[in-house]
Structure formats: C-alpha cells, structure tokens
Chain A
Amino acid sequence: MRQGSNSVQISAVGGQLPADAQAAFSMRGSLLRKNLLTVLLLAPATLWLVVFLVLPFVAIVIFSVGERAPEGGYQAALTLAQYANLPARATAFWNTMVLAPVGALACLLVAYPVAYYLALRAPQRWRLILLALIVIPFWTSLLMRTYAWMYILGGRGVPALLAYVGIEDLRLINTPGAVLLGIVYGYLPLMILPIYVSLERLDRRLLEASADLGATPLSTFLGVTLRLSLPGVTTGFSLVMILLLGEYLIPTLLGGGKVFFIGNALVDLFLQSRNWPFGSAIAITLVLVSVVVLIVANRISTRLSGARRVDLI
C-alpha cells in the first residue's frame, strides 16, 4: 500500500517539470499582453502631454536662452542675458507676488466656511444642489462674468443704486477692493471643492471622540477638523495661487489696468513688443515659482495633517 502511494508521488513529481515550464511560458505571454495593454492605454495621454506640454515647454526653455531678432521674435543664441534682465520687470513680479497669496488667502477665508457648511452642516439632500449652484456660474466664460462685475461695480451699478438712498460719490470700480472681489468670485469653486472633499471624508467619529475626551467645540475644530482638512486647504490654496500668478484679466478690467502684473508683462512681450526670449525667461521663472509653491504647500499639509505622503509633483 505505502510503496504504491510513493510511486504515485514520484510519477507526479516527474510530471511536474514540463507543467511548470508551460506555466512559465504562458505567464510570460500574459505579462507581454498586459504590458501591451498598458502602453495602449497610456498612449493617448502621453502623446497629448508630449505635443502640448513637453514640446512647448522645451521651446520656451530654448527661447529663454536666445535673443530677440531685430524685427521681433526669436533668434538662436546661448545666453543668460534674458534672465539677467529680469529685474527690469521687478515691479510686475512684486505686484504678482503680493496679489497671488493675498488673493488666495481672501479666497480661502470665504471658501472655508462655505465648504464646512456644505460638508458638515447642510442636510444631505441639499448638498448636491448647493454644490451645483456653486459650480454652474462657471459654465460661462470668466471674461463675461468679469465684464458683468464691471457693470455691477461701475457708475451705473451699485453706486447708482446707493445714490438713491443718499450715499453719493462712492467709487467701487478700479479699486484694489474690486480686484480682490473679482478674484474671490472667479476662483471660489477651485478653493471650495478641495476643502469640501477633505471635510466630507472626515470621519465624524473623530469629532465625537474629541468631544468625549473633553475638547470644547472650538478646540475640536482647531485640533481635529482644521488639521485634517489641511490637505484640502493646501491643495485649494496652491491651485488658486498658481493660477493667480498668471492672472491679468481681472486686475485689468476691475482694477483699471493701472497696476502691472506678470500676466500683463507676458501678453505685452509676446504680442506687442515681440520680445519672445525675454517673455520666455519670465515664463520659466514663473514656472519655477509655481513648483516651489507646490512643494512648500505639500510639505506643510503632510507635516500638519500627519497623512501619508501624497506627492503632487
């Protein structure tokens, strides 16, 4: 009996080798197929990024070390002269470096309570409707909406209405306040949505646990809610701030175009004075600043929320 079963085992072992080899072959086949599928799935996005992001970026880098052709445009060269010339636009840089963080901060201060209400206080069945109400205006172009604000804040808008009740000579348009208002209005959803998502994902039992351990509602908010929503806050903040680095439309329309920003400088250099190399150098600098903003924001949010690291770049 025992010997018989042994011999069966041996023959089974003997038969195993080719079976293993076969499995290995078919596994390699399926791996190949899997890789091919991966390549096919990624191809459209890769192609898109290469054609519309990488190539233009490389072109800009090349432009930025070149020279302006006598009649405008680009002339091949290898010089850092354009970068050395950056201080010529120091005012525009300075104005942008003030506008971007201040605008993002104003946006944050308005967006956080809204996101908090939506995620933690609004009745469930109202949430989608309220979210839609926030997003829907953004289906029309920013230019049109900013023009609308020009009318609202302009002489025939709110000031005219206020004149009826006796408040005369109020100037709203072409003031820093108008620019800030326009920016907050224009970028609000970009700030609300990430904060909403992080608050919505917040485990409500953590709030109960905090209260259970003796924390007042205020210290629960500061110690738990705010801390755990920081990834959303930093995402929204860096998103808005980076977009504001290139913003020039709102300050031009609502601020009267008296203050120059990097965005204005770029439009001017590429379209009017046709100094492409200098414009490219400014653009590259702007990209570098954006990258720094992202890295810093990511560090802060990872440090403070204790979340596992999520790298944005």
Chain B
Amino acid sequence: MTAVPDIEFRAVTKRYGAVTAVSGIDLAIPPSAFVALLGPSGCGKTTCLRMIGGFEQPSEGQVLIRGRDMAGTPPYRRPVNMVFQQYALFPHLDVEDNISYGLRQARPRLSSREISLKAGEALAMVQLAGYGRRKIHELSGGQQQRVALARALVNKPAVLLLDEPLAALDKKLRTDMQIELQNLQREIGITFVLVTHDQEEALSMSDFVCVMNGGRVVQLGQPSEIYDEPADLFVADFVGKTNLLSGKVAAFSGDLVDVALADGTVISARKRVPLSRGEAVSVSLRPESLSLAALGGGSLKGVVRNRIFLGSTAEYAIEVPGIGSLLAKADHLIGQGNLFKPGEPVAIGFAAGAPLAFPVANNSGTNQREDQHVEILS
C-alpha cells in the first residue's frame, strides 16, 4: 500500500442537527479499484459519496482525493464525477449536449471539434453511437443510464462515483449493466465507488466491499471474504442469506467453540471475537452449507415445510423442533431428481468449518432475519 489512495477518509463525521449520519469513518480506497459501499438505507453510505463529490461537507475529519484535502473545494473543482440516482440528465439538452456539458466547462476552453470528437468517443464507449441528437425523454431507462455514464466518464475523472446506478432498471437489464460496468472499470482503469443497498450487486461487481451500518464501516474486504468471513452478526445477516441459531457457549476446544442450541444439540463453531463460557451467541449457517439426507445421520432433525425449486438449485424451509425454521439450499443435478417433499422428515448436516458463532449483544440484525425468512418463504 505504498500508492497514494484515490480516496481517503480521516476520522470523518457528519451530523445533521442532532442526527449523526456518519461517525468517525477511516477509509482508504486504493487506486484503480471497484469499491462498493454497501448497507441498509440510512447507514451513511450516500452521505459518504456526497462528501466525496463535495455536495456535503464533513462536520469533522478530512476527505482526501489523491492525497489532497478537499475541505473548502466546491464540487465543480473536484476531480471526480458522479452518476446520479435516476441519472439527473438535463432535459433541455439532447444526448450529445448532455455528454459534452462537462467538456464545455473546461478551462482553457476546448475547441468545438475536440468536444464533439470526445463526446462521440464517449457515446461509442457506451454503445450509443448515432444517438447524439436524441432527446433525453426519447430514451429508455437503460439508454439514459448509459448517457449518464458517458457524461461522467468523458471528463476523465480520477474517481467515478455511482449512486445506486442500477436501482431504476429491471432485473435483466441490471445484470447486463453489472457486467458492462465491470468491463468499463477494467478498461478505463480508474477507481469506481458504487453506493448500493443491494448486496448481490455489491458482491457481483466490486473488487472490495465496504459494509456500513449505523454510520460506521463494519467491514472492508473482498466479496468472498465478506461472505465467508463476516466480521459480525450484522454482516453475516445482511450479506447473503443465512440461518441464525441462538444458543449458549458450552465449551472451548482449540480455536473452536461448542455451542449448545435451544434444543440441547451441541454444535462446534468457529468464532471471530473472543467469547466467554455461558455467553449468549448466534450461530450463522449459510443455507448452501447445509446438506440434507433421509433420516439417519446428521446432528439436526426436522421436517420439510416448503420447497422452492429454482432450476439449478432447490431451497427448503425446514422446521426443526426447538430451534425454528432453517433454510437449506441444495444443488440440483439433472436426472438426480432426489427432491424432498413437504412433510418429509430430514436430517440436516453441515461441513465442520461452516458454523460461525457471534456474540448477540446489541445487535440490530435479528429483526432483519425475520424479514428475510418471510421473503424466502413467500
């Protein structure tokens, strides 16, 4: 990490009156990375993005862009550009004039030949060549999205900021744009900072995910790290689907901890922070780490309540007496056909390293777990 970070937050706090939106964030975003700021609404991620853009000033601390403190630098003098939520394209200008808007502001002035040349290149880059003279309201949502991208990138910013850029698109288009954004970022090689509340989007597109909650950074890491090794209960619950089983610490065995679940079953789990004997914990078990078998082995026994067949996989909601409902996900191989039916009793097994134990104390994730299950079962 010898290179100067493209974006650096030093003890940044932002308050609106009595409300603290961002509290004491330290963050360094390395050059040429695709970084996602991920979190539920109100976690401060958009405020962070707006502080980089210069639309908000930190109440405390510093925001640096390529090593330069940005305090007092207005948005129009910052080397960053933003793709706004719902794009904020100028309705009175056509596509090409929207894209060349930033180029026209450049001082010393660019020649009009240069401007139209660059605007044309930007249009081609987002595959909208020939659309220059269209009106904005004549474009589809996906096309508007591309214009917004081109309008920002044509200025060759040091960092591109994206505020929920895909939220307004339908699912198919969103997937296409995810791939396109990833390719663009690699091609251009500048840092992209993406704000999203959609964990799938964050995991699939970015090199680094910065999970935020309650105005703080909870975890910063590569997507697989965030998913496999969540820093706390909130991250485990917010990123991806998981089962949370409550229990108490019964014993320690090496690096592992034995947790006694509500029904008396003891399972061995890994831990992220030191735990004490008798402490209330929540054990996270990803649905795909559960394996189902006809009754026999396995440490947990339950009854299949719902089956959701998804083609390549099947999801099962399994009622385990004394513990509650668990979600399991099983790959489906063609011809295997071995699906469990609702009402069928099953034994649930899991790989040794899969369970992760977290202390329960002051955690807001538990409510969301209920929501998630509703979503899965409906």
Contacts and interface: CB of A to CB of B under 8 A. Distances in A.
- A, B assembled together: yes
Interface of A: 203, 205-206, 208-217, 219, 223-224, 227-228, 304-308
B76 A216 contact: yes
Contact of B90 (A206, A214, A217, A304): A206
A217 B105 CA distance: 11
B75 A224 contact: no
B80 to A, nearest CB: 8
Contacts of A224: 90
Contacts of B90: 206, 209-210, 224
Given A214-B105, A306-B92, 16 more contacts: A205-B86, A206-B88, A208-B53, A209-B84, A209-B89, A211-B54, A211-B76, A212-B81, A213-B76, A213-B102, A213-B151, A224-B90, A305-B92, A306-B94, A307-B91, A308-B137
25 contacts: A203-B88, A208-B75, A209-B89, A209-B90, A210-B90, A210-B101, A211-B55, A211-B75, A211-B76, A212-B75, A212-B76, A212-B82, A213-B76, A214-B77, A214-B102, A215-B101, A224-B90, A227-B92, A228-B91, A304-B92, A305-B92, A306-B92, A306-B93, A306-B94, A306-B135
A132 B77 CA distance: 39
Contacts of A307: 91-92
B227 to A, nearest CB: 33
Contacts of A228: 91-92
Contacts of A203: 88
**6 cross-chain pairs, A with B, having the tightest CB-CB distances, nearest first:** A306-B92, A213-B102, A214-B105, A205-B88, A211-B75, A209-B88
B88 A208 contact: yes
A306 to B, nearest CB: 3
Contacts of B105: 213-216, 219
Contacts of A209: 82, 84, 88-90
Nearest to B148: A209
Interface in B51-98: 53-55, 74-77, 80-82, 84-86, 88-94
Contacts of A208: 53, 55, 75, 82, 84, 88
Interface residues of B, number: 29
A307 B152 CA distance: 23
A206 B82 CA distance: 12
B86 A213 contact: no
B348 to A, nearest CB: 41
B74 A211 contact: yes
Secondary structure type dominating chain A contacts: helix
A304 B91 CA distance: 11
B334 interface: no
A308 B137 CA distance: 9
B106 interface: yes
B325 interface: no
A213 B92 contact: no
A298 B54 CA distance: 38
B345 to A, nearest CB: 35
Given A208-B55, A208-B75, A308-B137, A214 B155 contact: yes
A205 B151 CA distance: 15
A35 B80 CA distance: 57
A214 B91 CA distance: 18
A76 B74 CA distance: 73
A212 B74 CA distance: 9
A217 B54 CA distance: 14
A297 B113 CA distance: 33
Nearest to A220: B76
A205 B86 CA distance: 9
A224 to B, nearest CB: 7
Nearest to B50: A208
B263 to A, nearest CB: 49
Contact of A213 (B101, B135, B137): B101
| Listed residue (B80, B90, B152) with the most chain A CB atoms within 10 angstroms of its CB | B90
Interface string B233-272: 0000000000000000000000000000000000000000
B81 A213 contact: yes
| Listed residue (A212, A216, A228) with the most chain B CB atoms within 10 angstroms of its CB | A212
B20 to A, nearest CB: 23
A23 B285 CA distance: 57
Contacts of B152: 212-213
Nearest to B161: A212
A306 B155 contact: no
A47 B173 CA distance: 53
Contacts of A216: 76, 105
A223 B80 CA distance: 21
B76 A215 contact: yes
Interface in B142-198: 151-152, 155
A306 B134 CA distance: 12
A228 B54 CA distance: 24
A280 B155 CA distance: 62
Nearest to A304: B92
A101 to B, nearest CB: 25
| Listed residue (A203, A210, A213, A227) with the most chain B CB atoms within 10 angstroms of its CB | A213
Contacts of B89: 209
Contacts of A227: 92
Nearest to A219: B105
A300 to B, nearest CB: 13
A162 B324 CA distance: 88
Contact of A205 (B54, B77, B80, B84): B84
Contacts of B75: 208, 211-212
A31 B220 CA distance: 63
Contacts of B86: 205
A132 B88 CA distance: 32
